Structure 1
């Protein structure tokens, strides 16, 4: 077992813990946190100041192409097992009402939501964690069968915001207060405000918010009058057509695309779909930053993998031509071009 001083600074343990994730050594990673718990380090900082930042670093290593997808998946599994070990060690008994925690439909990044669930459990709430990608109808059905003080919904990807809004409204129709969290709502929660829902930037804030039901229910109405122009619905209708035409355009501009393996072709089609999904989400909340931030991220990822970033610039130009009757989408596409043109 790893030797840890009773007052060990978690930053000192961090490199050792991260190395266990890199080596996919589940038992050693669990031993690190168990040793911390044995020496009296509280469970909450272990979860929030060790497990969470280590998992964030795993994501960065993947983004820099230093870790493979397989390594990232293995590390995520170990992080999940570590959270389970901490929960089993502490095993708190609930003294407060039920909080339902779930990820949005289509959202598969479940670990951040589970960390929130565990912090709420540590603070005395009876927590039901429904996990990743919960369909709205199933969540509502669960809320109708089980009395809940509140429901906490997580979203890591802004492209899921339209789905998130429908899920939030479905919960409200069941008269259950809703709070949301995750990078999908913006680092400052700006898109939660646009959807008219309470937002918590982190697990401790979520715990404070669910304890204050008056604040939880006192949120401004959603600000989505711009959806009357029907651009969002039009983008959804044309998604498949736009992907097909963009792929034809790429083949014409970059002859090497014709020699792509099936896996490379699938990845290209997926990236085209993500561009359109993020564009549609930006149109939904009427914020160009949602789209430009994704374009910047995608350009960084592609550059790290040796993919010509110019291909993204050409695709944005192609979409702009195809969507000349969509003024808001056109403005957002124009706003995204500087993020890739500077990398050419």
Structure 2
């Protein structure tokens, strides 16, 4: 059946007034992710057909990106790549419809940029694993039903080889979520304590000890999700800054004009690069190019929000409302909020320093920096 025929059938049979019901029907019609297999939200079709679907269904109920970003952008492609058939059938539909929200349990107090040094332990006990440790900077953990979790299962081998990847039940005994207040006044992310958390082996994604490879799939998709989504020309933050420029002729100076022109060019280059990246994704899995896009996005967003704040400096910052950030889109907030929130762009989804290493080594082919701990057993690493 043609994609447009499926879209027409969906619109004829599903009630848009019922958000969850409509998204369930869309999933069953294979119109959630057309490149996913049939029966799992897709049609096994080329990825670029998704653009047709999104355009035709633009005015129908959509997944809540603020709440579902981690599930849609990171958990779903990882489950598709490494999950069993039972795991795919169990998790993908409620993940897409928003009936189950996901978070990411990766970073730790002592293992942020260097994820492979993580210390959260998972010890096998029959058909279960017992998990103990602490995770931090976990966005959305306060309302998540499930989490993607990376643990240390073998401390006697080098750090990249002793990791195992799980789906974690956030309602399981021993899972404690504590909010972390950030510079904007919100508690968008959390620290999560795992104490004697028991996970059945059927919640494992990939092979035991292969968690680093599974995590790379998640991280590459995360960086594409953050920095590789193409927007419309003149949209996003460059559109906001341009509108401010037009409305405040009293604040214009030649220096600010030059900055605006430079940022417009950079925004357009970044937008077109995102389009090209999406075209590359249509042919396979995301590669290191996503790291470059995320790096570019962070720098550009911080410069744009800074310029916008200069142009509207008389407005100040009065948005200490302690709301969750997913309640209001960033572009719908004030210039002070946007400026402060953008500071996190160069940290979340991989720090800019780490991403520069990835680009230099895997894109430009430059020599890698010395890594003296590469072959050292994890248990012998200094901490």
Same fold (TM over 0.5): no
Bigger helix fraction: 1
Q: Which structure ranks higher in relative contact order (CA pairs < 8 Å, sequence separation ≥ 6)?
A: 2
State the TM-score, normalized to the length of structure 2.
0.28
Bigger strand fraction: 2
